[in-house]
Structure 1
Amino acid sequence: MASITLKNLVKKYGDGFPAVNDVSIDIADGEFLILVGPSGCGKSTLLRMIVGLEDITSGDLLIDGQRVNEKEPRERNLSMVFQNYALYPHLTVYENIAFPLRLSKGKFSQEEIDRKVRHAASTLDLDEHLERKPANLSGGQRQRVAMGRAIVRDADAFLFDEPLSNLDAKLRGQMRTEIAQLQRRMGITSIYVTHDQTEAMTLGDRVAVLKKGVLQQIASPRELYEQPVNLFVAGFIGSPSMNFIPAHVRGGVFVTPLGEIAVPEQAAGRLPADDSIVLLGVRPEHFEDAKFVDEAIAARGTTFDARFTHTEWLGNQQYGYIRYQPDEAVQSKLNELARDLDADEMTPQLVVSLDASSRIRGGTEGRIWRDTRRMHVFDPETGENLTRDAEAGAELTREAAEERTAEIERARQEQAAAG
């Protein structure tokens, strides 16, 4: 295992465009770090720089404190799990897993190779498939073979490049769980690239959000969700995405297309001058059909009446959609944000979570409650979250680190007890 340090890493290609631009991250020994962002944000390039498949234009890459910029990939002792598995179709599962050991040319005896391969196969539930060829395996099994090949190398770290993107939704969920459990049992430093924010939120100790080669925020999943640093992070993390509502600051209220909202306590003293325009960020789950909100909770927010274009019922929950009049003063900024998030434009609509029993339907009006305590206020020009509580966010990440350490220790104790 190893710590990995990225110091001001830059990657420029022939045209001078910085695919990775001044990225600095300290990855602790045993940490599971996720690199996430939309297509073209530089996450896979950054991973390839770490493993040695891309040259570093400037900056320093350290593994366990040793600078490795000029070292060949094989000298860095890192194991890469690729998106397409990179298995040899003519070799059995056994030989695919054993391949990196045989490349060592005499370093391992046949007995050692056999022991390592069978241990990896047992860890990944591949014992019954060792004599099969990759073409006869399911996508999930092929992915486990690729992981087995990484395990036998006794590498200092695992690097995953969108390993689940070729699997269907059900298999992705299953493999996500298996990767998480494997990493916890082994406690090995892991860096995982994905564009899927569900993978990012469920797998990582910390998540690094990238946009156009620039690191936007690195924190625990919960800190990213509850205390995003800017519009981009707030819009990228969460499904459905955070709602962004244009609002004019007038005295002690926000004037929005959905009525007036009293400026909440957390926003007081942090707002620009009167008549300025801000964007209010409210997640769908911080709304509810007012009929399902008791009086004690209702006092913590405000209500408004709206007509719904349609609803989506999902069994245990449902979502309602409300269109509103766009504010031309900020619509271009919202469309720019949408393009950053791989969409064409941002529709002026609100997505609200409703109780599964709510009878609100498309074409009807409903009274909706919103939790103003959970509302964020963003500067539309800079994208800055004006109501971010940095101290509270850092505490969330500290708590996550402590919980993670305890979880790894429990996993190791259980493994030791099982022999």
Structure 2
Amino acid sequence: MASITLRNIVKQYGDGFPAVNDVSIDIADGEFIILVGPSGCGKSTLLRMIVGLEDITAGDLLINDVRVNDKAPRERNLAMVFQNYALYPHLTVFENIAFPLRLAKKKHSEEEIRQKVTEAARTLELTDHLERKPANLSGGQRQRVAMGRAIVREADAFLFDEPLSNLDAKLRGQMRSEISQMQRRLGVTSVYVTHDQTEAMTLGDRVAVLKKGELQQIASPRELYEQPVNLFVAGFIGSPSMNFLPATPAGDRLRTPIGDIPVAADKLQTVQGRQVVLAGIRPEHFEDATLVDEAKRPQGHTFSTELTHSEWLGNEQYGYISFEAEPEIHRLLANLAREMDADELRPQIVVTLDAASRIRGGRPAELWVDTSKLQLFDPETGINLTRDAEAGRELTAEADAARKEEIGLARERQGVPVQG
């Protein structure tokens, strides 16, 4: 197993463009780190630098505190699981998994190879498929074969480059669960690249959000969601995305498209002297006012509106509200959408409603919003003016403690000695 340290890593190509710019990350032994961001943000380039497939322009890469910038990929003892699986079509599943062991000529006996492959196949539920060829396997089974090859190598860390992007939605969900459970059982350091924030939020102990080659924030999924450092992270993490409303301070309230919202004094203090801020509200912090518990109602704001339309999903429903915005707000939303590699961000509010709600599009409606969850952003710099850094650190520390406990329990179940 290994710790991996990135110190001020830079990747610059011949035209001077920095694909990765001054990224520093400390990855603990046994940790599962996700690199996430829109297309072209530098996440795959960063992964390829860790494994040695891309040269490092500047900075230091350390594995177990040893600088490896100049070491060849084979000397780093890292196992890469590629997007296209990289399986040999003419070899059986057994031989595909055994391939890296056979490359190390005379290092392993036939009995050792058989034992390692059999154990990996058992872990990945491939025992019944060892004599089959890759062409006769499903996408999920091929993915497991690629992971089996990484397991038998006994690598210090696993590196995953968008391994589930070729699978359908249902199979992606199954494989996410399998990868997560396997990582906990093995306790192996893992770095996983994806553009899919659902994978990032469900798999990662910590998630590193990248934009245009620069690290925006690295934290537990919950800290990213509840205490984002800036507008980009707040908008990128979460589905549906956070709503951003133009807001003007007015006394003890904020004047917004959904009315004058009462805001806590400490939050108002952060926006004193500003003409306009962006108020960030998650869709799930809205509700049908008729369904809100009376004890909860005082911590929020009730307003009248009309949905343009709604979408009923069975367990919940989404409602959509359009609002008028100044040209400057249109520009800010358009820029944010481009940065997130997303569709246009319209002057629109998305609300998540209980499935029992009878609110429908085109009719007057009463909605309630939990104003205690409101976050305020500087529209020019994007900085989260109301971020509670200490609360965020506590969330990530809590996730780290849970990771260590899960690895310990997983090893106990397998009879593996737990290291202190």
Task: Answer whether contact 1:336 1:345 (CA < 8 A) is retained.
Answer: no
Q: How does 1:42-121 map to 2 (within 5 A)?
A: 42-121=42-121
- When normalised by structure 1's length, the TM-score is 0.98
Aligned to 1:397: 396
Task: Answer whether contact 2:308 2:362 (CA < 8 A) is retained.
Answer: yes
Cα displacement (A) at 1:265: 3.7
The one-letter code of the counterpart of 1:376 is Q
Aligned to 1:259: 259
Cα displacement (A) at 1:417: 8.3
Q: How does 1:141-156 map to 2 (within 5 A)?
A: 141-156=141-156
Aligned to 2:284: 285
The one-letter code of the counterpart of 2:281 is V
Any gaps of 5 or more consecutive residues in structure 2? none
The one-letter code of the counterpart of 1:368 is L
Task: Answer whether contact 1:41 1:210 (CA < 8 A) is retained.
Answer: yes
Cα displacement (A) at 1:269: 1.6
Match status 1:407 vs 2:401: no
Aligned to 1:306: 305
The one-letter code of the counterpart of 1:415 is Q
Cα displacement (A) at 1:72: 0.3
**Cα distance in 2, alignment partners of residues 408 and 417 from structure 1:** 10
Identity of aligned residues (%): 72
Q: Secondary structure at the match of 2:296?
A: helix
Match status 1:170 vs 2:170: yes
**Cα distance in 2, alignment partners of residues 333 and 350 from structure 1:** 15
**Cα distance in 2, alignment partners of residues 266 and 140 from structure 1:** 50
Q: Secondary structure at the match of 2:246?
A: strand
Count of residues in Structure 1 that have an aligned counterpart in Structure 2: 417
Task: Answer whether contact 2:330 2:346 (CA < 8 A) is retained.
Answer: no
**Cα distance in 2, alignment partners of residues 149 and 119 from structure 1:** 12
**Cα distance in 1, alignment partners of residues 10 and 4 from structure 2:** 16
**Cα distance in 2, alignment partners of residues 387 and 412 from structure 1:** 41
Cα displacement (A) at 1:344: 4.4
Task: Answer whether contact 1:9 1:20 (CA < 8 A) is retained.
Answer: yes
Cα displacement (A) at 1:272: 3.7
Aligned to 1:139: 139
**Cα distance in 2, alignment partners of residues 174 and 344 from structure 1:** 28
The one-letter code of the counterpart of 1:87 is L
Report Cα offsets for 1:292-329 as digits up to 9, x if no partner.
Answer: 00211010000111111110101111110000102223
The one-letter code of the counterpart of 2:40 is G
Any gaps of 5 or more consecutive residues in structure 1? none
Report Cα offsets for 1:180-215 as digits up to 9, x if no partner.
Answer: 000000000000000111110111110000000000
The one-letter code of the counterpart of 2:403 is R
Aligned to 1:19: 19
Cα displacement (A) at 1:263: 2.4
Task: Answer whether contact 1:266 1:373 (CA < 8 A) is retained.
Answer: no
**Cα distance in 2, alignment partners of residues 272 and 59 from structure 1:** 40
Report Cα offsets for 1:389-413 as digits up to 9, x if no partner.
Answer: 0000000001111111111111111
Q: Secondary structure at the match of 2:84?
A: coil
- When normalised by structure 2's length, the TM-score is 0.98
State the 4+ residue runs in structure 1 displaced beyond 4 angstroms.
Answer: none
Task: Answer whether contact 2:263 2:372 (CA < 8 A) is retained.
Answer: no
Task: Answer whether contact 2:249 2:268 (CA < 8 A) is retained.
Answer: no
Q: Secondary structure at the match of 1:296?
A: coil
Aligned to 2:31: 31
Report Cα offsets for 1:113-136 as digits up to 9, x if no partner.
Answer: 111111100110000000000000
Task: Answer whether contact 2:252 2:265 (CA < 8 A) is retained.
Answer: no
Aligned to 1:230: 230
Aligned to 1:8: 8
Q: How does 1:122-133 map to 2 (within 5 A)?
A: 122-133=122-133
Q: Secondary structure at the match of 2:207?
A: strand
Report Cα offsets for 1:246-266 as digits up to 9, x if no partner.
Answer: 111222221112211122244
The one-letter code of the counterpart of 1:369 is W
